[in-house]
């Protein structure tokens, strides 16, 4: 369902559009607004997969560009050539484990890259006479707020930032830049901070796809620490609808938290996935799948709990998530069962080496 029944076509640049949330957003936007010009920019690092958006490249309105958001001449050229009036900035290094192993790439992409985009877009916006319909949406994470205790209230838009990993610190820095460009220059920026996303096209290093794929392969299911860490889970399609509403309805300068209202302990989530796999995949190498659960040494600085208060976006923009964690997980598991040809090529020697570097620790 479209957000607006009558609207002028947009020329939108979607950064990170071959990544997980980005590619889902590209598919969503092209379905909702087939008359819009869509430019997808992605560096195609390990987590970017051009095959995810390749079917859309046959349409005249979509252009894929392989490139780095830190490449200022490229950004300048794209904004001008394509008359971009909307940026959905989803490009980011996003995996906490990788940020612990190599934080430099996170600072470069998440902070320097965001600065490069903001500065280029500011000059482009000014050269166009500061049109009112222009928007720059910066998509961020709830991890910038730090960790919650079991009984603490959920994060809201006024929660102080307290990032605990190189990843979340770099995202916090990029949030501050986006906010500063609105307050200093009046540039029409918007910020969203979302909880953990899941759904189709998710790179297999993250918890839910990792568990799905390992169950299908009969491999151990590594669970950090005691498995009691709590996350709020947001189905990626629900997130895409939220971003759409923010672009079309939000007032520039605003920040919105986007959460699935689905808090779950990691260990409970893994048991849910095991049960769904037992039900939906009759030829599993190990059954019941929960026999594969293996507790491993916790990662450094592992935040205990995240929870999002999405009252503001519900009250101001009318957004609510459509999926519960149970319904969303069922759809996700079925997608991984039906799309082996998408995820199997990602299990490369490089991925296997990374996997071993993270999980090759003694079981508790």
Catalytic residues: 142-143, 167
Cis preceding-peptide flag for 142 (omega within 30 of 0): no
Instruction: Please choose, from the candidates 93, 81, 194, 95, the residue with its C-alpha nearest in 3D space to the C-alpha of residue 145.
Output: 194
DSSP annotation string for 192-232: EEE-EEESTT--TTSHHHHHHHHHHHT--EEEETTS--EEE
Cβ of 75: how many Cβ atoms within 10 Å?
25
Is residue 165 within 8 Å of residue 141, measured between CB atoms?
no
- Positive or negative CA dihedral for 355, 114, 87, 140? positive
Is residue 306 within 8 Å of residue 221, measured between CB atoms?
no
Structural element, H or E, at residue 244: helix 236-249
Instruction: Please choose, from the candidates 274, 259, 191, 192, the residue with its C-alpha nearest in 3D space to the C-alpha of residue 227.
Output: 274
Is residue 36 within 8 Å of residue 73, measured between CB atoms?
no
Is residue 166 within 8 Å of residue 107, measured between CB atoms?
yes
In whole angstroms, what separates CA 300 from the centre of its chain? 22
Instruction: Please choose, from the candidates 27, 66, 70, 8, the residue with its C-alpha nearest in 3D space to the C-alpha of residue 239.
Output: 27
């Amino acid at each position: 369902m479209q957000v607006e029944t009558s609207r002028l076509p947009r020329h939108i640049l979607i950064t990170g559009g071959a990544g997980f949330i980005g590619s889902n957003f590209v598919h969503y936007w092209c379905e909702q607004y087939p008359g819009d010009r869509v430019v997808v920019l992605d560096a195609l690092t390990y987590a970017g997969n051009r095959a995810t958006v390749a079917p859309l490249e046959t349409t005249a309105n979509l252009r894929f560009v392989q490139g780095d958001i830190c490449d200022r001449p490229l950004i300048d050229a794209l904004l001008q050539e394509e008359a971009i009036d909307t940026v959905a900035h989803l490009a980011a290094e996003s995996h906490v484990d990788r940020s612990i192993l190599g934080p430099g790439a996170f600072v470069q992409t998440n902070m320097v890259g965001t600065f490069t985009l903001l500065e280029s877009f500011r000059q482009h916006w000014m050269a166009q006479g500061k049109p009112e319909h222009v928007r720059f949406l910066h998509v961020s994470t709830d991890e910038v707020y730090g960790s919650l205790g079991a009984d603490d209230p959920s994060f809201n838009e006024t929660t102080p930032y307290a990032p605990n990993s190189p990843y979340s610190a770099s995202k916090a820095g990029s949030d501050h830049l986006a906010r500063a460009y609105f307050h200093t220059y009046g540039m029409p920026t918007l910020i969203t901070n979302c909880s953990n996303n899941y759904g189709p096209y998710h790179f297999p290093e993250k918890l839910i796809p990792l568990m799905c794929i390992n169950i299908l392969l009969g491999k151990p299911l590594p669970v950090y620490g005691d498995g009691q860490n709590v996350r709020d889970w947001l189905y990626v399609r629900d997130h895409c609808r939220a971003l759409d509403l923010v672009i079309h309805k939000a007032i520039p300068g605003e920040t919105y938290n986007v959460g699935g209202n689905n808090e779950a302990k990691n260990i409970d989530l893994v048991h849910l996935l095991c049960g769904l796999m037992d039900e939906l995949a009759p030829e599993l190498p190990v059954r019941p799948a929960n026999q594969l659960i293996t507790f491993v040494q916790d990662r450094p600085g592992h935040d205990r709990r995240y929870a999002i208060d999405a009252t503001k976006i519900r009250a101001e923009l009318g957004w609510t998530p459509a999926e519960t964690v149970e319904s969303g997980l069922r759809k996700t598991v079925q997608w991984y069962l039906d799309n082996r040809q998408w995820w199997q090529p990602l299990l490369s020697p490089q991925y296997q080496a990374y996997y071993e570097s993270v999980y090759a620790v003694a079981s508790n």
